Chains A and B, each alone.
Chain A
Amino acid sequence: MLKIRRSLLIIAAFFAVFMLAACSGAGITEPPAGPVPPYVPPQGGQVSLLAYTGRSLHGHTLVAENDNMSLYLYAPRLSVIIRDRATGAYMRSTVDEPSAADNPLWQGLYMSGVTLDYILGVSVHFSRACLFHTAHTLSVFYREDGFSAQVYFPEIQIGYTLIVTLQEDGFTAEIPQASIFENDPNITVGAFYVFPFLGHTYLGEYEGYIFIPDGQGAIIKLQDNEGRFNIPFTENVFGSNPGIDLEVAAAVFGNFVFTIEPEMILMPVYGMVHTCRQIGFLGIIESGYENAVIEAFPNGVSTNFNWASSRFIYSHVIHQPMGMQSGFVTTRTERPNRIDLKMRYIFVTGDQATYTGLAVAYREYLTRTGAFASAQMDAFRTGIDFLGVEQREWALFRLNVEMTTFSQAEEILRTLADNGVDRVFTRFDGWTSGGSMNHLPTRSFNPARSLGGQRGLNNLKSTVEELGGELSLVVNPLDIVVDTNAFESLNAMRRATGRTIDFFGGSVRLTSPPRTMELTQRLARELGERSFHADIVRMPQFLSAFSEGGTYFCRTDTAALFAQGIAAFDYYFEAPVLTAPFAYLWRYGRALTLMPSTGSSYLFTYRHVPFLSIATSGKIPVYLEHVNFQANQQRFFLNLVETGARPMFLITAEDAELLRFTPRNEIYSSMFDLYKEMIIQYHNALTYLHSHIGTAGIVRRYVDGPIVRIQWSNGLWVYLNYGRVDAVVNGVALAPMSYAIGGSNG
């Protein structure tokens, strides 16, 4: 309420000033600006740091300044330049001259600081309103730390207010939802781009890269691609939105069912680094990430520019079915998504102008904003993920397949402890009656009798604690297996069109977000009362719009419900462990499990980078995806060494062969006897490494072919050789596929 009231006050104030300005006949209020020089792309690799001419830079006028940064504005197009005062390096947000080769849509995007896409009627395509091609009125108001601009497009009768504030390390840009007004009921805001071309480059003019949050992270090299790529990186922040995207559901059953989906965006960030100019920025979507898309366009894709941006989706065009079999009409979602758009741009300069610098800046930002408030950063632990019981079809009925009973798990942990592997981080999946997949969603505390029942589970918990470890029970309050839980499927989540979200031909559905929250809170209470930790799966890595009772709810609503549910664990006992969660939930997690180790291998990416691991290093325990299923286990081990992440083994007492005819037949290797030695080796090596690392975070990473050097914040260096031949780094000999701790001298 306070936020709404404040926004209304701001709008009222702006409206009053706007009316005064209009009455005085001044359509645009701006400081004097010099003529815009024609855009001449510098030659390859040329460093242009010295175009600074006092209060004006490239036709932009200085509007705010602090000890570190200067903010320049070219008001007619709301174009900004941000300049690092110490180094003189700067980045621009628009292009000076449009290229005749580009169509007006692209010209509008790169010539305007802010671009608005709107939906006309029920057209499936967005139209674009910009500050270059579209008639508009603009009022700019200056503050000590930035400016505000009120924009109105008379033709489409839409207006908004942009607020830009200079920060110590960059600036923020906001468009409060309350400031957006639509006067024509047939025209609605579709999407916003805010400074999409900030830091753009032309073909290969500057060396550097675009950072995209693809899995762990990836970089797109700034080089002249000579037209090799024609597809951009365009991904929803926090995964697909099946409540809207019909094609996502179709992809599961299409011809390409066995293509692995790209990694989801776990962190609402992107970046651009000009290594030759030693400046870069990290764009953080601070608010509105639930309905944002991150786009990165290497040159050759639509234009000759390299650029990256977030795009905020306010309304969706949906295909409303007219019957069960066929026929639909296109329509808009009945109300806009809830977005109080806010972008934060953090700039890095000097030797910090790398993706590592961006990751460190993100880590500091996350720490500052409390994202690791629930994290329990303890000494190194090895992760053991037990699978209890599963079911398979048999002649007359379903048969239990007990893979690991509670007592077998105890025995395994004691065996490990006898070999020095203690303080184990233990997950237990498939602990409920019916197995891990057959009786979803998890609704209550109901340990499988065939595994040892409640007493067996209590004994296991005691053993784990006695050995210094901790035990989390895996719960999945989201998925519904319809066959075994038909009653629950009545609460299935519905799309914006009112249809249920079905997977695998309707055999799997999802509980509606309010019901998911209810189940989560119930589980939090039941587990908390018994002092059991939980590891929540699926729900932390899923976010979708939905409808209930004919009312549309956007992903912001779902995120709020999920967060509310997950927060209950901390209320009743302690913060839960979260499996591969989206960043907005990190603040509720004690540890993060099964996090991705690489990315999606887009052709246009230059290489994957461990951005996520760097951003979380030293702040929250991160367990990477299971060691079992890595085809390159030596390389994966080196990844663990490099990033400081922790290993997770999926372990069963029985042979995985028994799972062949169960829903978990994707587990093709898990028997403890096969992994015992490996667990011990990993544990010993990584415990030693982490005794040096402590709670430090990664601050530098250098890659030279197969050689990688990592520096931690406590000064420790770690050298790794991913190559096939011996190498010497700083006098330290490295055998192929090995690593060494290099002391504090890099």
Chain B
Amino acid sequence: MTLRKLVVCLLISAILLGTPGIVAASSVPFQTFTRSGNMFVRTQTAYEPYITISRIGPYTMSNPQDIRLGSDGLLYIADTGNSRILVATQTGDWVKTIGEGYLHSPHGVFRTDEGLVYVADVVAQAVFVFDQDGALIDTYTRPDHPLFGRYATFMPTKVVVDRRGNLYITSRGNTNGIIQLATGTGEFLGYFGANITNVNLWTAFRQFINRDQQILVMPISVTNMAICSRGLIYTVSRGDDQALKRLNVAGHDILNLAPMWNFSDFIAVTVTEGGNIFAATHNWIVEYTAEGDLLFLMASNDDGRQRAGLFRAISGIAVSDGTIFVLDELMNIIQVLVPTEFVNEVHTAFALFNDGLYTESMEPWQNVMRMNSMFAYAGVGLGEAHFRNRNHREAQEAFRRGFNHQGYSDALWEVRSDWMRDNTAALMVSGLGLILVWKLLKFADKRVPILQPVRKASAKIKGITLFSQCTFALRNLTNPYDAAYGIKHENKGSYGSAFILLFLFYVLYVLNRYFSGFLFRSAPDGQYDLFGDAVLILVLVGLPIICCYLVSAIADGEASFKNLFVGIIHAFAPMFIIMPLVIILGNVLTLNEAFFITFFNFIAYTWTAILIFMSIKNMNDYTFGKTFKIIFISIFVTLIAALLIFIIYVLIMQVADFSVSVVREAVFRLAEN
């Protein structure tokens, strides 16, 4: 997901806000968002600007490209434009300068626990190693190993070192992956964690139509990386949809962030002792939990007013005890953000939760929930705690609030079990009672026709032509040949019945989409678009029928348009039987029984498809083979028709836009005069 998409997504949220709210903001110049289900919601400020470091002692920075926190608590800054490494305290006091005279364009810096400082220099095409006093003790240059690649570049941009002393180096223009070198010898150990090429449909299409201009599909180089205390490498690759990765020893991504929560604009990453991941784009900072859940999204672009907390181009990020140090390569400053009381409470709760201390985490989660009732993670935390304490109803409600489907499902299972246990006897008695009442009624009816009015009413309804035409659709379920014959020759179907059935299908579609339970509804919470659904149904059903008719009309088909339209709509009969069942089940089943929903849906759709096929065949009196052929041609024609409609729509909209502009302008001029 690119930041542009995110901005659009958030803009929609902003539009939902309506008028400018009167909830006053704090002094922090950016909004903080958190994930809540599949949307972002505003939350309290997580980190707020504390100080801005614009000078390191007597030194100003120039185009700084990297910042790392050493185990000695000092900041190591690659002052790229000044060809040096500045070492500073966390308040910006200068400690020492490293690499002057050796470095040309240091882009990456890393300090080991032993105090060695590794510097990746793009221009020098080397990684330099300095000791604690700043003396150069080693230099790693381009490996001459044949597997490194004859044309592979060695222009180090970032470097990290694991506990064994092996170096992981990213190189500008080298798309083979992270270069892994052995300590001391500099022996090339291989490439690690390469990005894979991503050929999507659009790229394939461009390749198809641009044969002369070859469109290269190259994997993206790793942009930045970090290493955690467990030795796992975290990478970000700008331009990759799966930008943020956590690599295992085999170089495979084990974070597997959903694309929606992974931003292709990431350029910097760091990991805390607790495992939380901080990644940054040029202007935004995102905090993930150790499990990869998006916790906070914050900061924003500098709007030219130079306010603390806004950035022009972040190039590096480091975190110490919750304090974030953000390096800005254009403003040549380090902005320090400190955690608020709110985020401290969130981290406390998470720490207890991740240690399995669910009950102990309840209090901090409740504090978090008090401060933000829409904080989904608090819902999950409280849900787990309630679940462990066997408060299943509370757990269900909390999981619902946390948009946690699995937790909700587990809680629902327990709630349902409890309910069944408490009510089975009553249910059975009620069922038996109903059967008994029915038998008694029937028995009594034989003696005195007390059900006669009901029968009369039923007969009257059945006598209504439209009603009988609608119920005739059920004939499809048992004998599609009879159904087709009846519609074609016995007038047992009409436009009226077809439209009623189409409307019924629409109603079932809407109920299934919006009201089939938290676990199985397909529409996002709180979003309703009945008009859009109606248009969708009309287009998806109407256009193929028209195209099918047009195709069959020139392919010796016998069916009139009415026959085809009514026949196909009547073929939806399985939906009318099965979908209500699916909707009801959706409200009572858990994810463990999702198979039933899938199964019934499969039956409904397959059966309907077969009946549509049979209807087209019987109405036109085609063979099986010809019916297949006609259907495929119809699908193709439908696609072409959709394209044409789209083009015409665009043209009409432009004309309409122009007309509206002219009218508005005229009205405006009149109003002005």
Interface residues in chain A, defined as those with a beta carbon under 8 Å from any beta carbon in chain B: 215, 226, 228-231, 251, 253, 255-260, 262-263, 323-325, 392-396, 429, 437-438, 440, 476, 479, 481, 498-499, 503-505, 507-508, 537-538, 549-550, 579-580, 594, 596-604, 608, 625-626, 628-635, 650, 655-657, 660-661, 663-671, 674-675
Least distance between B483 CB and chain A CB atoms (Å): 33
Q: Assess A663 versus B671: contact at CB under 8 Å? Given A256-B303, A630-B26, A669-B370.
A: no
Q: Is B597 at the interface (CB under 8 A from chain A)?
A: no
The 10 closest A-B pairs by CB, nearest first: A663-B18, A625-B24, A661-B526, A598-B27, A631-B340, A631-B44, A324-B661, A631-B45, A674-B370, A601-B308
A481 to B16, CA, bound (A): 12
Contact, CB under 8 Å: B303 / A251: yes
Contact, CB under 8 Å: A258 / B306: no
Contact, CB under 8 Å: B341 / A257: no
Chain B 278-322 per-residue mask, 1 if CB under 8 angstroms from chain A, else 0: 000000000000000000000011011111111000000000000
Contact, CB under 8 Å: B307 / A600: yes
Can you list 8 A-B contacts (CB < 8 A)?
A256-B300, A257-B11, A260-B25, A260-B28, A263-B27, A550-B673, A668-B43, A669-B372
Contact, CB under 8 Å: B300 / A258: yes
Contact, CB under 8 Å: A437 / B19: yes
Quick one: which of B28, B44, B514 contacts A601, CB cutoff 8 A?
B28
Least distance between B73 CB and chain A CB atoms (Å): 17
Q: Assess A255 versus B301: contact at CB under 8 Å? Given A231-B306, A668-B42.
A: yes
Contact, CB under 8 Å: B526 / A323: no
Quick one: which of B45, B307, B369, B527 contacts A262, CB cutoff 8 A?
B307
Contact, CB under 8 Å: B18 / A481: yes
Least distance between B525 CB and chain A CB atoms (Å): 7
Contact, CB under 8 Å: A323 / B23: no
Q: Assess A257 versus B17: contact at CB under 8 Å? Given A498-B672, A602-B307, A632-B341.
A: no
Least distance between A475 CB and chain B CB atoms (Å): 12
Tell me the total A-B contact number using a CB cutoff of 8 A.
214
Q: Is B41 at the interface (CB under 8 A from chain A)?
A: yes
Contact, CB under 8 Å: A669 / B49: no
Chain B 399-418 per-residue mask, 1 if CB under 8 angstroms from chain A, else 0: 00100000000000000000
Contact, CB under 8 Å: B46 / A631: yes
Within 24-38 of B, Cβ neighbours of A (below 8 Å) are at 24-31, 33, 36
Contact partners of A666 in chain B: CB under 8 A: 17, 21, 23, 42
Q: Please indicate which of the listed interface residues A260, A396, A503, A604 has the most CB atoms of chain B within 10 Å of its own CB.
A: A260
Q: Is B20 at the interface (CB under 8 A from chain A)?
A: yes
Least distance between B652 CB and chain A CB atoms (Å): 17
Contact partners of A669 in chain B: CB under 8 A: 370-374
Q: Is B510 at the interface (CB under 8 A from chain A)?
A: yes
Beyond the given pairs A393-B528, A667-B23, 19 more chain A to chain B contacts, judged by CB atoms under 8 angstroms and listed by A's residue number, are A253-B11, A324-B661, A498-B672, A602-B305, A602-B306, A625-B26, A631-B44, A632-B48, A632-B341, A634-B341, A660-B374, A663-B16, A663-B17, A663-B18, A665-B13, A665-B374, A668-B373, A670-B373, A675-B370
A538 to B15, CA, bound (A): 18
Q: Is B342 at the interface (CB under 8 A from chain A)?
A: yes
Interface magnitude class on chain B: 35 or more
Contact, CB under 8 Å: B23 / A629: yes
Quick one: which of B30, B41, B528, B671 contacts A260, CB cutoff 8 A?
B30
Chain B 1-19 per-residue mask, 1 if CB under 8 angstroms from chain A, else 0: 0000001001101111111
Q: Assess A395 versus B528: contact at CB under 8 Å? Given A498-B668, A508-B18, A604-B306.
A: yes
Contact partners of B672 in chain A: CB under 8 A: 498, 549-550
Least distance between B284 CB and chain A CB atoms (Å): 9
A251 to B300, CA, bound (A): 13
Least distance between B616 CB and chain A CB atoms (Å): 34
Contact partners of B664 in chain A: CB under 8 A: 324
Chain B 567-593 per-residue mask, 1 if CB under 8 angstroms from chain A, else 0: 000000000000000000000000000
Contact, CB under 8 Å: A507 / B15: yes
Q: Assess A626 versus B24: contact at CB under 8 Å? Given A259-B300, A437-B18, A669-B370.
A: yes
Least distance between B57 CB and chain A CB atoms (Å): 12
Please, which residue of chain A has its CB at the minimum distance from the CB of B43? Answer: A668
Contact partners of A253 in chain B: CB under 8 A: 11
Contact, CB under 8 Å: B26 / A603: no
Q: Is B343 at the interface (CB under 8 A from chain A)?
A: yes
Least distance between B516 CB and chain A CB atoms (Å): 13
Contact, CB under 8 Å: B19 / A440: yes
Contact partners of B432 in chain A: CB under 8 A: none
Q: Is B114 at the interface (CB under 8 A from chain A)?
A: no
Q: Is B471 at the interface (CB under 8 A from chain A)?
A: no
Least distance between B27 CB and chain A CB atoms (Å): 3
Q: Is B54 at the interface (CB under 8 A from chain A)?
A: yes
A230 to B330, CA, bound (A): 13
Within 441-463 of B, Cβ neighbours of A (below 8 Å) are at none
Contact, CB under 8 Å: B10 / A228: no
Q: Assess A438 versus B18: contact at CB under 8 Å? Given A601-B49, A629-B44, A631-B45.
A: yes
Contact, CB under 8 Å: A257 / B14: yes
Contact partners of A599 in chain B: CB under 8 A: 27
Q: Is B172 at the interface (CB under 8 A from chain A)?
A: no
Quick one: which of B27, B306, B530 contacts A603, CB cutoff 8 A?
B306
Please, which residue of chain A has its CB at the minimum distance from the CB of B331? Answer: A603
Q: Is B52 at the interface (CB under 8 A from chain A)?
A: yes
Q: Is B100 at the interface (CB under 8 A from chain A)?
A: no
Please, which residue of chain A has its CB at the minimum distance from the CB of B49? Answer: A601
Contact, CB under 8 Å: A481 / B374: no
Contact, CB under 8 Å: A668 / B41: yes
Contact, CB under 8 Å: B18 / A597: no
Least distance between A542 CB and chain B CB atoms (Å): 10
A215 to B36, CA, bound (A): 32
Q: Is B562 at the interface (CB under 8 A from chain A)?
A: no
Contact partners of A626 in chain B: CB under 8 A: 23-24
Least distance between B399 CB and chain A CB atoms (Å): 13
